[in-house]
Structure 1
Amino acid sequence: MGKTSGASPISIAASWLRQAKFEEGPWHNVFSLATINSSGGASCRAVLVYLLEDDQFTFCTETTSRKNAQISHNPQVALSVYWPNMSRQVRLEGVARMGDQSLSDRHFSTLPHGARIMAHASLSGVPGDPDDVARKAQKLERELCGREVGRPDYWRAFTFEPTFVEFLENCKGWNQRCHRFIYNEESGGWQDWFINP
């Protein structure tokens, strides 16, 4: 195992995510999010991950969702993403926390109009009927008459603070060699190492 250069893993991951916006297309920020339930079982689903100005990772969900219930029970989560065009993968482990109301408002305002309507018409993780959801969405459209769609209280943004980051990069060339390096947070700082792929 060999020591790396000591660069910040959060800034590296943020830089890769920004590059992926141009290399991977509109779904560049789809990550797998893994959580743990009260029985110790794992759950995994795809979420959209966003960057704040300070390179903080965020994602959004509803307080009625299964992932929110599991994060409330155990805030230790994992995120992973693979970008095929760039031949890169990032894995992150750390702590998820519900953000404040202003952060949630900020994220909700960036959603397309239809997505904001659906946030009101459908509660994530709650049993329902698709026809009923469609009727609620149509009714809300009529009632709003083009007015701004506000954020429902149960739609919230979460922040994610990594304590472990792993990068895997396939260096294109004659030997197709992979570079793999990990970062562990220890005593307020980062310990970083190259490891065999």
Structure 2
Amino acid sequence: MELPQDPIERFAALFEQAKKAIPVDPNAMIVASVGADGRPSARVVLLKEFDARGFVFFTNLTSRKGQELLGQPFAALVFYWAPLERQIRIEGRVERVSEAESDAYFQSRARGSQVGAWASLQSQPLPSRELLEERVETVTHQYEGGQVPRPAHWAGLRVVPDRIEFWHARPSRLHERLVYERDNGPWRTTLLYP
């Protein structure tokens, strides 16, 4: 069996299939992180870009997710595309994207999302929904008629993969599992038992 040499190219081809098969958020992925206490946590975020350098999403760095990923800079990502009977698991270290990349993506967001990045104290206790709405109104007035700048606490994170596993459902639960791994060199491939 001829194994594809580049997992990023393989991911790109499957992602194109997912975009056709999944009408809402085919870029949804689970991001798992670990806190300083060793306790894992996971949540769904949206992949915004990927290339040979890694997989990028954007977040509030003061959130639980942001603090965990900056404190323990390793993450696991999971894509599950049920219509394709595919799962992709990605593991690697986390790094911040450049300020220019964060600025460019922030300016491409809807204005309401830009305002929300300022108004939300993400992951902090919220005494009432009304308080959040007041904060949104304050920020909206503050930047009325002008551009909303990116908050310093809002940025992109890139997961630089060193392990990518492609899972494909097969009959009798004899699934296909192909892992790509690397240590500062070329990708190595290994088939796994299901």
TM (norm. structure 2) is 0.89
The structural deviation recorded for 1:53 is 5.5
**For the Cα contact (< 8 Å) 2:4–2:10, is it kept in 1?**
no
Once residues 36 and 172 of structure 2 are traced to their aligned partners in structure 1, the CA distance between those partners, rounded to angstroms, is 45
Once residues 133 and 7 of structure 2 are traced to their aligned partners in structure 1, the CA distance between those partners, rounded to angstroms, is 43
Cα 1:113/1:19, change in 2 over 3 Å: farther
Other-structure match for 2:81: 83
Other-structure match for 2:121: 123
Confirm or deny that 1:57 pairs with 2:55.
yes
Once residues 6 and 131 of structure 1 are traced to their aligned partners in structure 2, the CA distance between those partners, rounded to angstroms, is 53
3-state secondary structure, aligned to 2:182: strand
Confirm or deny that 1:181 pairs with 2:194.
no
**For the Cα contact (< 8 Å) 2:91–2:159, is it kept in 1?**
no
Q: Please say which of residues 35-44 and 120-129 is displaced more in the overlay.
A: 120-129
Once residues 49 and 179 of structure 2 are traced to their aligned partners in structure 1, the CA distance between those partners, rounded to angstroms, is 21
Long gaps (5+) in structure 1: none
Cα 1:92/1:195, change in 2 over 3 Å: same
The alignment of Structure 1 onto Structure 2 pairs a total of residues equal to 193
The structural deviation recorded for 1:140 is 2.6
The Cα RMSD (Å) is: 2.2
Once residues 175 and 41 of structure 1 are traced to their aligned partners in structure 2, the CA distance between those partners, rounded to angstroms, is 34
The structural deviation recorded for 1:55 is 6.5
Once residues 33 and 162 of structure 1 are traced to their aligned partners in structure 2, the CA distance between those partners, rounded to angstroms, is 13
The structural deviation recorded for 1:34 is 0.6
Once residues 58 and 176 of structure 2 are traced to their aligned partners in structure 1, the CA distance between those partners, rounded to angstroms, is 31
State the AA in 1 paired with 2:186.
G
Other-structure match for 2:72: 74
Once residues 100 and 40 of structure 1 are traced to their aligned partners in structure 2, the CA distance between those partners, rounded to angstroms, is 28
Once residues 91 and 172 of structure 2 are traced to their aligned partners in structure 1, the CA distance between those partners, rounded to angstroms, is 30
Bigger relative contact order, structure 1 or 2, given CA contacts below 8 A and separation 6+?
A: 1
Long gaps (5+) in structure 2: none
Matched-pair identity in %? 27
**For the Cα contact (< 8 Å) 2:53–2:160, is it kept in 1?**
no
The structural deviation recorded for 1:78 is 0.3
The structural deviation recorded for 1:181 is 0.8
Q: Please say which of residues 102-111 and 86-95 is displaced more in the overlay.
A: 102-111
